[in-house]
């Protein structure tokens, strides 16, 4: 089969660049779809990122409800197998229990993505119900890091991150309930922005208010792709519980200008959680680099009760996921999770959370409020806080303590172990503030280390503006110009 581009040419294009070529008549959406199918065939057997490609979307993007006149003009796109649904398509959520589950309608965001011109071509891997930090259940699938396949790609937007990092697609869908966009972006060398509340709708099944901590978004290799996705896919559906806000100007315009001189705080000590020394060195190095761009950089930390904040976050996850699992059980007439179809930690989450009282939730929400107010006060004095994305080196595959197939008898101890590594991302979800992972650091074993920037609510554009300034300063050479070992 003759492809429209060489692999070097394909890998050099981001989504905006491919859309420009379609509009110029250099390539058609159908040719782009064929290139993606060839890319998946070329590398995915080594990585395990793509569950399924939709044959009809490959054959005819227009028949896939794609608005070929949209700004992305038929650019191929993959959806995480969790969250927004696609009419008539399987959505199995990384679970044996959900095998064969087929959606009856597009979710609101899926419609926005199609209207923006994306050809949704398939679905990517996620851990069961998006709960844990690695896609690694051999009974379902295992997703490997393209930089070194002995390591995890983290999660929960694992397959999307790997597909973008390996060059199968220029960008893909992710969701983030505690770092699930930023963490896999960080360990796969990508850009991953978790938005503020009120950007991407999760209608009709939930709202930002009922979901509390989960956000939608994308994973990309360029700042302009992220900016354009936000510009064209954001917005609320009818009946939202809260207003959906718009920035004063499109992000694609904003990122053309450098930000003002920013007050940037560095931090890696969040309560009892500390980054390993090599990560602190990388954070310090990036801080000096940002000083060189003209920003004021120093060490500072919000006055947060981190013990109470993480306790509240854990209560939120346990009680929320318990109800999600309960809904799935009720739909099948079951009164408890079947041990042969749902993973052990998720069963323990259901057991621990199904009886959560209103009093416990009220206490949780009080801690959410206190934490959000503390971050709010901090951002009166600082524009951005910078941390590593993770505190510890990326685990090798087979490190079961982070997995929902773990035999840990205590679900709270299991979550506590997660926070030792993934401490820096969840509180942005709790507070509804934006956080972006930028591929600026490196780990000693050669994997990328994302550097996370967080800002006050609705300052998503400022984070993109800073990211664009950095991208220009490094001449687009994220990850120091290095490439994954497995790529197209």
pLDDT at 209: 78
Question: Where are the chain's structural domains?
Answer: 7-83+103-481
Percent of the chain with pLDDT over 90: 97
pLDDT 10s digits, 139-157: 999 999 999 999 999 999 9
For residue 285 the two structure tokens come to 């190095």
* Region of residue 463 (phi > 0: left; psi between -120 and 50: alpha; otherwise: beta): alpha
pLDDT at 402: 94
C-alpha of 333 from chain center: 33
Residue 1, pLDDT above cutoff 80: no
Cα distances (Å, whole numbers) of residue 15 to 170, 172, 225: 5, 10, 6
Mean of the per-residue pLDDT values of the chain: 97
Catalytic residue among 156, 201, 214, 319: 156
pLDDT at 259: 98
Percent of the chain with pLDDT over 70: 100
For residue 80, indicate whether it is catalytic: yes
pLDDT at 448: 98
pLDDT 10s digits, 11-36: 999 999 999 999 999 999 999 999 99
pLDDT at 208: 81
pLDDT 10s digits, 232-291: 999 999 999 989 999 999 999 999 999 999 999 999 999 999 999 999 999 999 999 999
Burial of 475 (0-12, 13-18, 19+ CB in 10 A): exposed
CB neighbours of residue 155 within 10 Å? 30
pLDDT at 211: 79
For β-strands 273-274 and 269-270, DSSP reports them as antiparallel
For residue 456, indicate whether it is catalytic: no
Identify the CATH class of 7-83+103-481: alpha beta
- Residue 356 — pLDDT band, cuts 50, 70, 90? very high
- Taking the C-alpha atoms of residue 424 and residue 304, their distance in angstroms, rounded to an integer, is 13
pLDDT 10s digits, 194-220: 999 999 999 998 888 777 899 999 999
Catalytic residue among 133, 160, 175, 180: 180
- Residue 127 — pLDDT band, cuts 50, 70, 90? very high
pLDDT at 84: 97
pLDDT 10s digits, 415-449: 999 999 999 999 999 999 999 999 999 999 999 99
pLDDT at 210: 77
């Amino acid at each position: 089969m003759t492809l429209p581009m060489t692999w070097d040419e394909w890998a050099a294009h981001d989504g905006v660049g491919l859309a420009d070529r379609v509009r110029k008549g250099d390539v058609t959406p159908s040719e782009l779809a064929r290139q993606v199918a060839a890319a998946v065939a070329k590398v995915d057997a080594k990585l395990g990122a793509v569950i399924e490609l939709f044959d009809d979307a490959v054959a005819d993007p227009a028949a896939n409800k794609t608005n070929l006149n949209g700004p992305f003009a038929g650019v191929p796109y993959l959806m995480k197998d969790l969250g927004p649904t696609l009419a008539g398509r399987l959505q199995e959520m990384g679970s044996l229990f959900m095998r064969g589950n087929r959606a009856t309608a597009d979710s609101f965001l899926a419609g926005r993505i199609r209207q923006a011109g994306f050809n949704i071509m398939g679905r990517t891997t996620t851990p069961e119900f998006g709960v844990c930090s690695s896609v690694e259940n051999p009974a379902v699938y295992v997703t490997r890091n393209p930089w070194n396949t002995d390591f995890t790609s983290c999660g929960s937007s694992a397959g999307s991150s790997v597909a973008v990092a390996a060059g199968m697609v220029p960008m893909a869908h992710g969701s983030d309930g505690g770092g699930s966009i930023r963490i896999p972006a960080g360990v796969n060398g990508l850009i991953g922005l978790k938005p503020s509340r009120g950007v991407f709708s999760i209608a009709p099944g939930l709202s930002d208010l009922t979901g509390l901590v989960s956000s939608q978004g994308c994973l990309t290799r360029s700042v302009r792709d992220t900016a354009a996705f936000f510009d064209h896919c954001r917005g609320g559906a009818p009946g939202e519980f809260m207003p959906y806000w718009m920035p004063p100007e499109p992000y694609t315009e904003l990122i053309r200008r450098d930000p003002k001189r920013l007050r940037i705080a560095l931090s890696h000590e969040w309560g009892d959680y500390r980054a390993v020394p090599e990560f602190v060195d990388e954070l310090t190095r990036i801080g000096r680099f940002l000083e060189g761009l003209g920003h004021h950089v120093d060490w500072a930390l919000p006055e947060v009760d981190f013990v109470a904040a993480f306790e509240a976050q854990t209560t939120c996850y346990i009680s929320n996921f318990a109800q999600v699992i309960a809904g799935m059980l009720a739909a099948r007439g079951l009164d408890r999770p079947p041990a042969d179809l749902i993973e052990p930690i998720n069963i323990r989450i259901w057991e621990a959370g199904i009886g959560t009282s209103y009093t416990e939730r009220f206490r949780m929400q009080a801690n959410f409020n206190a934490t959000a107010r503390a971050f709010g006060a901090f951002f009166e004095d600082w524009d951005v806080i910078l941390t590593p994305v993770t505190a510890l080196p990326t685990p090798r595959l087979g490190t079961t303590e982070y997995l929902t197939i773990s035999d840990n008898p205590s679900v709270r101890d299991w979550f506590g172990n997660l926070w030792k590594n993934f401490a820096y991302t969840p509180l942005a979800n709790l507070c509804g503030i934006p956080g972006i992972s930028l591929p600026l650091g490196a780990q000693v074993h050669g994997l990328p280390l994302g550097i996370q920037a967080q800002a006050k609510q609705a300052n998503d554009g400022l984070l993109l503006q800073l990211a664009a300034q950095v991208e220009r300063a490094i001449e687009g050479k994220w990850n120091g110009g290095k490439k994954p070992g497995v790529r197209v």
